[in-house]
Chains A and B, each alone.
Chain A
Amino acid sequence: MIKLRVNGQERPFDGDPSMPLMWFLRDELGLTGTKFGCGVSLCGACTVHLDGQAVRSCAVVMSDVAGHSVTTIEGLDAHGNHPVQVAWRNLGVPQCGYCQAGQIMQAAALLAQKPAPTDAEIDSGMAGNICRCGCYQRIHAAVRAASKGA
C-alpha cells in the first residue's frame, strides 16, 4: 500500500507501483486538471508539484511518490487566485487551454524558486512546456507579471 498526500489529503494506492502518477491523478482521483499530452516528459501538460518542485507526473511512478506530497492545479490555491493564475487571466493567456494548467504549475514552481527571474530564466524555466496554440508571448508576459521583477 502506497500512501501519498494529494492537495493536502492522504490518498492510498494499492495498484501497480510502476504506474505513472499522472494516471492515478486523472483516472483514479478524477483530478483531470493535470493533462495527458505526450506520456514521456516532453510537453509538460501533466506538470504537478512534488514536495514543491515541478515534475512531469507522466514520468514519476507511484512507488516514487510514497510518503510524498503532491499538489495539482486543483490544489494550487483554494480560490484559484494564485498570483500566476491571476496574471494568466489578466493577460488572457489561453487559447484552447489544454496545456495551461501545466504551464501555470511550472510557472508557480519557477517563481517560488526565482521570484525575480530574468527574461532568459523565464524562457529556460518554461521551455519544457509546449503550447501548440502558441501562447508563448503571453505566457512570458504573465510569468513576468506574477514575478517580483514585474
Chain B
Amino acid sequence: MTYQSSFNNIAVTNVSRRDLLKGVVATGGLVLAAQFPMTRSVFAYATGAADMPHGVVTDPHVFVSIDSSGLVTILAARAEMGTGAARTALPMIVADELDADWSRVRVKQAPGDETTYGNQDTDGSRSVRHWTQPMRQIGAAARQMLETAAARRWNVDVAEVSAQHHEVVHTPSGKKLGYGELAADAAALPAPALNTLKLKDPSAFRYIGKGNIPIVDLFDITTGNTTYGQDVKLDGMKFAVVARPPVVGGKVASHDAAAALKVPGVEKVVLIPGSTPPAKFAPLGGVAVIAKTTWAALKGRDALKITWDDGPNASYDSKAYRAMLEEAIRKPGKLERNEGNAEEALKSAARVVSAEYYSPHMAHVTMEPPAATARIVDGKCEVWAPVQSPGGTREDVAKLLGAKPEDVTIHTTLLGGGFGRKSKCDYAQEAVILSREIGGAPVKVVWTREDDIHHGFYHTVTAERIEAGLDSNNKVVAWRQRSAAPSILSTFAPDPKFPANFELGLGFVDNPLNVANLRMESGEAAAHARIGWFRSVNNIPHAFAVQSFVAELAHELGRDPKDFLLELIGPARIVNPTVTTKLWDYGEPFDVYPIDTGRLRRVVELVAEKAEWGRKLPKGHGLGIAAHRSFVSYVASVVEVAVDDKGNWSVPRVDTAIDCGFAVHPERIHSQLEGAAVMGMTVAKYSEVSFKNGRVEQSNYNDYPVVRIDESPTETRVHIVPASIDVPSSGVGEPGVPPFTPALCNAIFAATGKRIRSLPIGPQIAL
C-alpha cells in the first residue's frame, strides 16, 4: 500500500435523475452517481469500506443535484444519531470539493437502500473514516463538470476557467456563471475522465478540517421542528405498545385481553409470535395493544392479563453468573494470543502481581426510546424509523414479509441517540407485523423507557484477570490476561460461548504493551440475554482492566503512573500480535491502520502536557491517566477527581487527547469527546443492568441513573493531534469512552487509596 493519489478506477457517470432519485430530490439539473468498482486502489489509501456489506462490492452511490437556482442538494445516506457525521460532515466534504457555498446547500436524507447507496450501517465509528475519500471525489467530479460546461458555453479552454464558491469564473475575461445557470449543461456532459479528477489542495479548503459548519439540523433542533422516530405521524395512524416476554426466549402461555379491550380508545389486541435465540433482530414477541392514542394503548397494556412461559433463561441471575465468570478466569481458557512463553515467565518471575476486574451489563438508554411506524399499501411496505442501519432494516423487513427489498422503503428519521441500540431493528419489525395485522393501516409502535431497559440488546458482562510477572529489576516480563464475557455472536448464531475475532480485536488481543511474554485467554461464557453493541463495546471492560492494572503496577513499584504507562507501551513501533484467529483491526487494512505505539505514546505525552500532569492539587483531589487505542484512533485521558470527607466525589476537570488522523470536523470531534467524558462517567459511576429470575431488575432513570449536569465533569478540554489529510481519518464517536473509566478510577485511587476493580463505582468509596 502506498499513499498515492490515484483515482483512475472510479467510474463517475451521469444518470437520469428520474431513474435514480425518484422521490428523493425534488428538483435538480445535475445529478451524479459515483460507482466504485471492487478494487481498493481508487483511493489514496485503502479503508475497510470495500469489505462492508454492499460496500465497494455493490457500488456505493453518493448523489449531488443542483437546481436552476443554484441550490445544491446532497444526499445523506447514513443515519444521523448525533455525531454530526451523516448529515453534516460528509455532505460538507462534498460541498467543499464542489466549491459550493454551504449556505446554498441542503441535505436530504436518503432511504434505506444499500444497492443504490452502498453500506449505510452507521456503526463502528466508520462514517468519516470510510466516506471522506468518496465524498471528496464526488464533489471534485461535480465541480469539474460545471467547469467544462462553462468552458463550452464561453467556447474557451477549460484550463481558463475555475469554479469559485458557487460560480465558475473565466479567468482572462472575468466572466462568471452561477452553478444554477450551468447545472443543466453540466448534467448533459459525460463524466470527467477519472485520471483528470483534481482534488482541492488542502490549503483551499473552506470547510474540511475547519470545524466551521454547524450541524444542519441545529435550527430545527432548537425550535422543536424535528422528526425523530417517536415523532412520526401519518394520517389515520394507530398507536401501539407491546407487552413483551420478561425473559429472553420466553413466550406468551396465555393471555386475556377482555379488560384491555374495554379501555376507551383501544381497538385491537394482537399476539406477536415470539422468537427463540439466536434470532438476530427479530421481535421478542408478546401481546400488542393497538389504540387511537399512545395513552389508550398504554392503559390497555396495563389491563392485559398475561401468563408467561419463561423458557430456558428463567434462572439467569447476575450474582450467580458473576461467580461463574470469575471461576472461568481463574483457570486456563482458550488461547487467543501468545507471545513468548508467559507461563514459564510467570513461574520464574521474582514477583507476580494479579488483579481481577468486573464490568456489568449495561443498557444504552438513548434519550429517544425505540419507536417505529409502518404501513403496507398494495404490497408495498413503508417504514419510518430511527435506525442506524437503514439498509439492513430494509433487508430484515423484506425477509419478514417475504417481500422483495424493492417493495420495502425505509425512511430514516433522526435518531434521538443510537449508541448501538438502534443498530437492531426489532422495533421496526414490530411495527411492520402490527400494520400487517390491521390490514396495512399505519401504526406506530412506541417503546417506553421501561420497555427500553427491559428489552435491550445489552452490553456484555465481563470478568477479567491479569497476572504480571516482574523480574528482579522490577521489569514486567510476563503478562497473562484472561477474559470471560458472553459473545455478541449469540444474537446471530448458536452461542459459541467464546468471543469472535471482531470482539477479541476490541482492546483484548490488540493490547499494545511491550511485554516479551504475553498470553491472552478467553473463558467460557454462555449468553442468557440479548447481547449487542454498546458504544465502544468490549473496549470498555478491556481498557478498564488493562489501564487500571497498569496504574496498580505503577503504584506497586512506586512509579509515576504516566511514566510507567509510557514505559509499558514501550518504544514507537508497529505491534503485530501473534493471534490464534485472524486479527480483526476494526475491519481496516492493517497496513493502513496498524497498531502504532508511537501514536499511542504521543497522545499520552500530549494529554500529560496539556493537563499539566503532576500539577499541584487541592487536598482530596487526585489525577488519573489512561490511554487506549480503539476504532483505529488513539485516545488518552487525564481525569481530576475531588473527593470530600464523606466520600462524595466530583470531576472538576478532564483532559482528553485524540489522534484520529486527519480531523475532518474538529468542532464535532470536541463535541464527541466532551460527550464521551459524560458517558464514560455514567459507565463508571452508575451503569449496571442486573438480572434476577431472568428478568432485568432496573426499569427507568431512577434505578438506572445517568450522570446529570450537576455531577458531570465541570470542564472537559479536548486536544486533537494535528494531522494532514494524508493521514487516514479514523474513529471519533466511540474511542473517547474506554479510557475515561480507568483514568477516573486511577484518579480516585490517587485521591483516596481506594482501588475500584468492580464497576459501577456506586457507593464503593462512600465513607
Footprint of B on A, CB under 8 Å? Answer: 15-16, 19-20, 23, 26-28, 30-40, 42-43, 45, 72-74, 76, 80, 85, 88-89, 92, 94-101, 104, 122-124, 126-140
Residues from chain B with a CB closer than 8 A to the CB of A16 are: 264-265, 295-296, 299
Interface string of B261-289 (1 = CB under 8 A from A): 00011000000000000000000000000
CB distance from B392 to the nearest CB of A (A): 20
Taking A26-B231, A89-B214 as contacts, is the C-beta distance between A99 and B222 under 8 angstroms?
A: no
CB distance from B247 to the nearest CB of A (A): 23
Residues from chain B with a CB closer than 8 A to the CB of A126 are: 709-710
Residues from chain B with a CB closer than 8 A to the CB of A101 are: 221-222, 224
Taking A36-B446, A95-B675 as contacts, is the C-beta distance between A19 and B366 under 8 angstroms?
A: no
| Cβ 8 A contact of B675, one of A129, A133, A140 | A133
Chain B residues numbered 58-87 whose CB sits less than 8 Å from any CB in chain A? 80-84
Q: Among B368, B415, B667, B716, find the residue whose CB has the most chain A CB atoms closer than 10 A.
A: B368
Residues from chain B with a CB closer than 8 A to the CB of A28 are: 293
Taking A38-B449, A127-B710, A135-B671 as contacts, is the C-beta distance between A92 and B214 under 8 angstroms?
A: yes
Interface string of B218-231 (1 = CB under 8 A from A): 11011111111011
Taking A36-B230, A38-B700, A136-B712 as contacts, is the C-beta distance between A98 and B224 under 8 angstroms?
A: no
CB distance from A126 to the nearest CB of B (A): 5
Taking A23-B294, A27-B239, A130-B708 as contacts, is the C-beta distance between A80 and B222 under 8 angstroms?
A: yes
Interface check B674, CB cutoff 8 A: yes
**Cα of A122 to Cα of B678 in the assembled complex, Å:** 18
For chain B, the count of residues having a C-beta within 8 Å of the partner chain is 65
Between A and B, 9 residue pairs with Cβ closer than 8 Å are: A20-B295, A27-B293, A42-B700, A94-B221, A100-B221, A129-B709, A134-B707, A136-B712, A137-B716
| Cβ 8 A contact of B224, one of A33, A39, A128 | A33
Residues from chain B with a CB closer than 8 A to the CB of A136 are: 678, 707-709, 712
**Cα of A123 to Cα of B678 in the assembled complex, Å:** 15
- By the criterion CB–CB under 8 Å, are B224 and A73 in contact? yes
Residues from chain B with a CB closer than 8 A to the CB of A39 are: 448-450, 700
Residues from chain B with a CB closer than 8 A to the CB of A40 are: 449, 700, 702
**Cα of A126 to Cα of B709 in the assembled complex, Å:** 7
Which A residue's beta carbon lies closest to that of B681?
Answer: A134
Taking A43-B701, A127-B708, A137-B715 as contacts, is the C-beta distance between A132 and B366 under 8 angstroms?
A: yes
| Cβ 8 A contact of A80, one of B223, B226, B367, B368 | B223
Residues from chain A with a CB closer than 8 A to the CB of B715 are: 137
Taking A45-B367, A89-B222, A133-B417 as contacts, is the C-beta distance between A98 and B712 under 8 angstroms?
A: no
- By the criterion CB–CB under 8 Å, are A123 and B709 in contact? yes
Residues from chain B with a CB closer than 8 A to the CB of A19 are: 293, 295
CB distance from B193 to the nearest CB of A (A): 40
- By the criterion CB–CB under 8 Å, are A138 and B233 in contact? no
**Cα of A26 to Cα of B237 in the assembled complex, Å:** 13
Give the top 6 A-B pairs by smallest Cβ distance, nearest first. Answer: A33-B224, A134-B678, A98-B416, A96-B82, A73-B224, A134-B675
Residues from chain A with a CB closer than 8 A to the CB of B265 are: 15-16
Taking A100-B221, A123-B710 as contacts, is the C-beta distance between A132 and B367 under 8 angstroms?
A: yes
| Cβ 8 A contact of B228, one of A42, A72, A98, A138 | A98
New A-B contacts (16) at CB < 8 Å, excluding given A36-B230, A72-B224, A98-B414: A23-B294, A23-B295, A28-B293, A33-B226, A39-B450, A73-B223, A73-B224, A92-B214, A95-B82, A95-B83, A96-B368, A97-B416, A130-B706, A132-B419, A134-B676, A134-B707
Interface string of B189-220 (1 = CB under 8 A from A): 00000000000000000000000001101110
Which A residue's beta carbon lies closest to that of B211?
Answer: A92
CB distance from B677 to the nearest CB of A (A): 7
Interface string of B493-523 (1 = CB under 8 A from A): 0000000000000000000000000000000
- By the criterion CB–CB under 8 Å, are B709 and A38 in contact? no
Which B residue's beta carbon lies closest to that of A94?
Answer: B221
CB distance from B684 to the nearest CB of A (A): 13
- By the criterion CB–CB under 8 Å, are A85 and B222 in contact? yes
Interface check B469, CB cutoff 8 A: no
**Cα of A124 to Cα of B701 in the assembled complex, Å:** 17
Chain B residues numbered 78-120 whose CB sits less than 8 Å from any CB in chain A? 80-84
- By the criterion CB–CB under 8 Å, are A96 and B417 in contact? yes
**Cα of A124 to Cα of B710 in the assembled complex, Å:** 6
CB distance from A77 to the nearest CB of B (A): 8
